[in-house]
Amino acid sequence: MPLSKAACLFKLCLTLTVISLTHLSLAANQEPEPAKLPDLTDLSVEALLELDVTSVTKTPTGLKDVPAAIYVLTSDDIHRSGATTIPEALRVVPGMHVARIDGNKWAVSTRGFNSQYANKLLVLMDGRILYTPMFSGVWWDQEDVMMEDIERIEVIRGPGASLWGANAVNGVINIITKKVKNTQGALISGAGGSMRKSGGLRYGVGLGNQAYLKVYGRHSEYDQTHLPGTDTQAGDDSRLSKIGFRVDKDFSGTDKLTLQGDAFSGSSGGAGQQFPTVSAKLAPVLSPPYSRWLPTDSEPSGHYLMGRWEHGYSNDSSTVLRMYWNRNERKFTAIDSSYQIDTLDFDFQHNVHLDEEHNLVWGAGARLNYNDTQNSLDLSWLPNQRQDQIYSLFAQDEITLVPARWKLTLGSKFEHNPVTQFEWQPTARLSWTPVKQHAFWASVSRSVRTPNWAEQDLNYNKQVIPPAGGGVAGPANPVTLISFVGNKAMQSEKMLAYDWGWRAQLGPRLSADVALYYYDYHNILSGTPSALDASRIVSGYLLQTYAFTNYGSADVYGGEASVDWRVTDTWKLRATYSQTEQRFRLSKLAPAGTGKLFDGGFPAHQAMLWSMHQLTPQINVDLWWRYVDGFKENPPVQAFHELDARLARRFRHGLELALVGRNLLETQHVEFGSYLFSIPTAAQREVYATLSWNF
């Protein structure tokens, strides 16, 4: 269970949960009430049915003692952020670094190691893993969902590997969509403005016998942005269409069945990039032009089907069985390369409350990843077909040492994968609640990130150095091709994590959350050049390959603090600050020329202030300021301040209109650097309107 925000703070949220106000409700009762009980009578029955009571039942003293740096974005937070994409919504999470690389690419990570290919964050939607085994990261462009359909997003900073397994190294993002029962009726939502357009429709209906169905469809388009510092269009416009369904059925309270799925298709543009011209694999052409300028466009498509069966044996024991099939395709159109990945996943979990002291959860899982690629000379995978089977087993015991005071959680995940064989990822967490208003916790965990397919199988021509003078190449004046190649002997990246936290309810209107961490990484990704291959000098070219290796290590430490303050009944402030220090080193064993990879990408300081103001029961104003420190990238990213704003007005019959302004302080700024196949463009000032109509 996520920790809930102080109940005293919730009135504001609740008022915002409102999808519709019946015309009978009393708008007269608007004088600012003294600080007392929340008056929810303005809410319609529909809105009351939607309300999460747990966020309500928790009295200010009922502080949750979750021994982890957990943060929960409620559907209201998401709604008020005006976000139309998940990364935009994640920007408000303390310690999370979200950078917009171009119109459709995002770098999202926490506690270091960010890039488009950020590989230490596990992202799940309703329990389905969103990261691709290709690079252990998420293609955020294809995770375009109706934001109104998200129930909440739980973000755990720090390792969650003992439960979730490999790749839950730096954090876990759990996106939970709404149950069908809570999304009955029709919802129309849309956004339109200077740089984005989107529209969606959702319809939920009861099928009788405790069965509910919802269907939805959505289309979104994002316009081109500018190349940094210019007015030149970058060619990074994108669009995506998605349709989906979900059925929930309740059998006499003890069994719950869910079947859900979606299908999508889209295209995501990218700015142009120099690609070396090659005549064969790892062989450059011998006469100009040695490279050509191609867009980094891609076309994602895919679908999934998931079933989930929950069975309750008693109040103290329940099981969940989940299985899904996920297919994901992506075509890199300009270079004629593509891949198709199928994932088949089975998961079983058993929660059992053994006695007063022990709360046990254990489970087992099997996953099959199947990959079929169409290789081109520019980008290929060897082998071009591959099948990985991953088996796992985990157990975790939550032990109450002293009731309501001390709690110890011990757990571990055991995983077997075909590359590095056995991996174990244990954790120990201790929480102490000396008084109800304060909770302290500490944990030690070990996590691994298993090698991804790109690291093992990739062939990607990075750069070409034309012969001197740029003319025809020959044995005396050769052309040099620089390529990245996979390494079959990749090892897992390993991390030992120490986490501390303090969560406090400092009075009924103020709550605070502080987390500190020290992470020690070994065997992290590096790039090692092989000896210059001069065997084809006679033909007129040299080949320099770089292989992915594991010679890096790092210490990353820092912390986050966030404060929620309800200044008045209608005005709430949320402030967060985070710091991250990254220290990268190379092993003494590293061959000469070895370089660090993905060793920047994260700002040392981030701060934000969010003001949520309810002017009248119908009108909300949100102002959101953020500061992101500059950081090392290619090219370096400059520090920036930005301000977003949202003005929303609710009308009768469930209609809400809002005006959102993004990046209001400057016409443009750059949020990230350049990596393989991703060219940064400017994050620009933007204004759009959103509509949400529930009936």
Partner 1 sequence: MLKATALSARFTLALLMAVLVSAPACAESGGEAAVKTAFLFNFFKFIEWPETTSLRTFNLCTTENDHLGDSLVVLDNKTLFNKPMVVRRGVVGEELKKCHMVFISTSDHTGYFEEIINKLKGFPIVTVSDQPGFINHGGMIGFVQDDNRLSFEINLDTAKANAVHISAKLLKLAKNVNLAK
Residues that bind partner 1 (CB under 8 A): 7-8, 10, 14, 22, 24, 26, 29, 35-41, 43-46, 48-57, 59-60, 179, 182, 500, 502, 504, 506-510, 512, 514, 516-518, 557-559, 561, 563, 565-567, 577, 579, 581
Selection from 158, 70, 92, 80 nearest residue 513 by Cα: 70
Q: 625 Cβ partners below 8 Å, 6+ apart?
A: 608, 609, 610, 641, 642, 643, 644
- Is the dihedral angle over the CA atoms 486, 490, 492, 495 positive or is it negative? negative
Q: How far is the CB of 358 from partner 1 (least distance, A)?
A: 25
Q: How far is the CB of 454 from partner 1 (least distance, A)?
A: 33
Selection from 141, 140, 135 nearest residue 167 by Cα: 135
Q: How far is the CB of 351 from partner 1 (least distance, A)?
A: 15
Give the Å distances, CA to CA, from 288 to 471, 520, 541: 6, 47, 13
Q: How far is the CB of 515 from partner 1 (least distance, A)?
A: 9
**Cβ-based nearer residue to partner 1, 502 or 627:** 502
Q: How far is the CB of 497 from partner 1 (least distance, A)?
A: 12
- For the chain, the C-alpha Rg in angstroms (whole number) is 26
Q: How far is the CB of 137 from partner 1 (least distance, A)?
A: 28
Q: Which residue has the tokens 């002291």?
A: 357
Give dist(CA 69, CA 443) in Å, integer. Answer: 10
Q: Which amino acid is at 645?
A: A
Q: How far is the CB of 40 from partner 1 (least distance, A)?
A: 4
Give dist(CA 597, CA 384) in Å, integer. Answer: 25
**Cβ-based nearer residue to partner 1, 362 or 565:** 565
For residue 383, say if its preceding peptide bond is cis, omega within 30 degrees of 0.
yes
Q: How far is the CB of 513 from partner 1 (least distance, A)?
A: 10
**Cβ-based nearer residue to partner 1, 38 or 591:** 38
Residues 302-316: b if buried by 16+ CB within 10 A, e if exposed: bbbebebbbeeeeee
**Cβ-based nearer residue to partner 1, 538 or 567:** 567
**Cβ-based nearer residue to partner 1, 325 or 502:** 502
Q: Residue count of the chain, please give it.
A: 695
Beta bridge partners of 440: 432, 502
**Cβ-based nearer residue to partner 1, 50 or 143:** 50
**Cβ-based nearer residue to partner 1, 291 or 511:** 511
The terminus-to-terminus CA distance of the chain in angstroms comes to 30
Collapsed DSSP state (helix, strand, coil) of residue 372: strand
**Cβ-based nearer residue to partner 1, 57 or 230:** 57
**Cβ-based nearer residue to partner 1, 73 or 108:** 73
Give dist(CA 559, CA 555) in Å, integer. Answer: 14
Give dist(CA 122, CA 116) in Å, integer. Answer: 14
Q: How far is the CB of 163 from partner 1 (least distance, A)?
A: 21
